[in-house]
Amino acid sequence: MDFELMANSFPKLLNATVITLKLLTVSLIIGLFIGLFFAILRLNKNIFINKFAYGYSYVFRGTPLLVQIFIIYFGLGQIEYLRSTFLWLVLKEPYWCAIIAFALNTGAYTSEILRSAFQTIKPGMIEAGKSLGISNKIIFYKIQIPIAIRQSLPAYGNEIILMMKGTSLASTVTLMDLTGVAKYIISTTFKPIEVFIVAGGIYLFMTFIIHNLIKFLEKKYSF
Amino acid sequence: MELLAFGDTGWGDELFRATLMTIAVSITAMFIGFFFALIFTPLKLSKIRFLNFIANSYTTIIRGVPELLVIYLFFFGGTGAVMFVASIFGYNEYIEINAFITGAFAIGIISGAYSTEVFRGAIQSIDKGQFEAASVLGLNKFGKFFKIILPQTLRLAIPNLSNVWQITLKDTSLISVTGLVEIMRQSYIAAGSTRDPLFFYSFAAVLYLLLTFLSMKLINKLEVRYSRGF
């Protein structure tokens, strides 16, 4: 056991954790909006809109995240037309490509979580709102959305942890996130176990924090 | 379409072989996972706290650390570990472990953590009366487990195990970083030599979708089979 290496690599890995956290929060925020959007589409009665939303979540849940990142980072750059538009400013950056892939991926899972949450809302609650003379819009924002958020908290907590692990794939498109730096240190020192303990410890700590945060929120919003 | 031709001109046969490799690694990893689950599920359900602690550490660590990090640990550490064990037995030559074995083992350990949780949940959700009834019938420990508990556990576990299978199948794409030629690696090679990454990565996505779709169909059949009589 090389404790000196562990102590030396800790600040470097902690620095890289900042990138991991940035990737995670930005993609979760974008992914939440994508997920909400597609969950609402799934509840639509129009069969085409419904099928489109289902297809989106099916494709992104049925393929590995690695393929999605590679298509966006290596694949989209190949289209000449895209290179001439302003989108290229975003797509030439590995950072934004990774975020787009993560956001689309977590969006697909989030849409499933929110959809099932919307569907478990008892019709009586909506009817109660209607009988009080509240408009459909307010029923949606004041009744359906808060209940759906509470219902989906446990599943969404899992999704956050899965996404945090997913950000490690950013290292495959040259980003130096926690896993990227860990790999770099391993491949220069050939001490995989020591680096794994430190980097894995940081990941576990983040999992622990997220897990407890969600538990706290669940308690706070329980009814 | 000529990019996918079989033979020397296209990548069809290479990608076909790569798909078979993905299936082979996934199945091997799944079985290694079952093996781990077989060890750790009893530990989780054990009344001895130390054994609980070991099993909980295993599932918590594996499920809380990115798959890629675990794969790097095995990729860089696997050779060292095997050589260390070999050196105890007096063998000091360089040993290179096959990428297939390293990969299947790494993914297997990950898949095992998920399987353990599934089996634990399934066994715990079996009615207590079933255990008592088995004891009343005078069955011994093995008979009780294999004749009464296991068949019911399987029925409850199959839907969740199909999720584990999906995760395992998708995780195998990560082994491409170790150089094993499965779908992802082959697409990477093809994309590099034809300068057409969009096509090959999209095709890889289609292959994965096909695999998940077909395996779901198969698992649904299994589910029906094991639900007979309920």
pLDDT in tens, A58-113: 999 999 999 999 999 998 888 878 777 877 888 888 999 999 999 999 999 999 99
Lowest mean pLDDT across B3-7, B54-58, B129-133, B177-181: B3-7
Q: By the 8 A CB rule, do A142 and A195 touch? A: no
pLDDT band at B69 (very low <50, low <70, confident <90, very high): very high
Backbone CA torsion sign across B173, B178, B179, B180: negative
Is residue B4 in a domain?
Answer: no
> pLDDT digit string (tens) for A29-58?
999 999 999 999 998 889 999 999 999 999
Residue of B nearest to A183 (CA): B72
Q: What's the CA angle centered on B214, arms A61 and B178, to 5 degrees?
A: 65
Which residues form the domain of B184? Answer: 14-226
Q: What is the pLDDT of residue A205?
A: 96
**B206 Cα to chain A: minimum distance (Å):** 8
If one counts every other C-beta atom within 10 angstroms of the C-beta of residue B11, the result is 25
The answer, yes or no, to whether residue B226 has pLDDT greater than 80, is no
The answer, yes or no, to whether residue B117 has pLDDT greater than 70, is yes
Please indicate whether, in this complex, the C-beta atoms of A66 and B209 are within 8 angstroms of each other: no
Higher pLDDT, A19 or A88: A19
pLDDT band at B138 (very low <50, low <70, confident <90, very high): confident
Is residue B107 in a domain?
Answer: yes
Residue range A3-220 forms a domain whose CATH class is: mainly alpha
The answer, yes or no, to whether residue B92 has pLDDT greater than 80, is no
Give A73's DSSP letter.
I
Stretch B50-69: mean pLDDT: 94
Q: What is the pLDDT of residue A61?
A: 94
Chain B residues near residue A63 by CB distance under 8 angstroms: 170, 205, 208-209, 212
Is residue B144 in a domain?
Answer: yes
A160-190: b (≥16 Cβ within 10 Å) or e: bbbbbbbbbbbbbbebbbbbbbbbbbbeeee
> pLDDT digit string (tens) for A125-178?
888 888 998 888 888 888 888 888 888 999 999 999 999 999 999 999 989 999
* Assembly ipTM: 0.88
Chain B residues near residue A200 by CB distance under 8 angstroms: 61, 65, 69
- What would the 3-class secondary structure string for chain B be? CHHHCCCCCCCHHHHHHHHHHHHHHHHHHHHHHHHHHHHHHHHHHCCCHHHHHHHHHHHHHHHHCCHHHHHHHHHHHHHHHHHHHHHHCCCCCCCCCCHHHHHHHHHHHHHHHHHHHHHHHHHHCCCHHHHHHHHHCCCCHHHHHHHHHHHHHHHHHHHHHHHHHHHHHHHHHHHHHHCCCCHHHHHHHHHHHHCCHHHHHHHHHHHHHHHHHHHHHHHHHHHHHHCCCC
Is residue B128 in a domain?
Answer: yes
Is residue B8 in a domain?
Answer: no
Residue B179 is encoded by which pair of tokens? 């150089």
CATH number for the domain that contains residue B220 = 1.10.3720.10
Pick the closest to residue B158 from B230, B229, B220, B111 (CA basis): B220
Q: By the 8 A CB rule, do B157 and B122 touch? A: yes
Is residue B212 in a domain?
Answer: yes
Is residue B156 in a domain?
Answer: yes
Chain A residues near residue B180 by CB distance under 8 angstroms: none
Give the A-side interface with B, CB within 8 Å.
58-59, 62-68, 70-71, 74-76, 78-79, 161, 164-169, 171-172, 179, 182-183, 186-187, 190, 192-193, 196, 199-200, 203-204, 207-208
The answer, yes or no, to whether residue A122 has pLDDT greater than 90, is no
Alpha-carbon gap, residue B190 to B200, rounded angstroms = 7
Please indicate whether, in this complex, the C-beta atoms of B77 and A192 are within 8 angstroms of each other: yes
pLDDT band at B224 (very low <50, low <70, confident <90, very high): confident
> pLDDT digit string (tens) for A177-210?
999 999 999 989 888 899 999 999 999 999 999 9
Residue of A nearest to B72 (CA): A183
Backbone CA torsion sign across A82, A83, A84, A86: positive
Q: By the 8 A CB rule, do A124 and A188 touch? A: no
Chain A residues near residue B61 by CB distance under 8 angstroms: 200, 204
Number of separate domains in chain B: 1
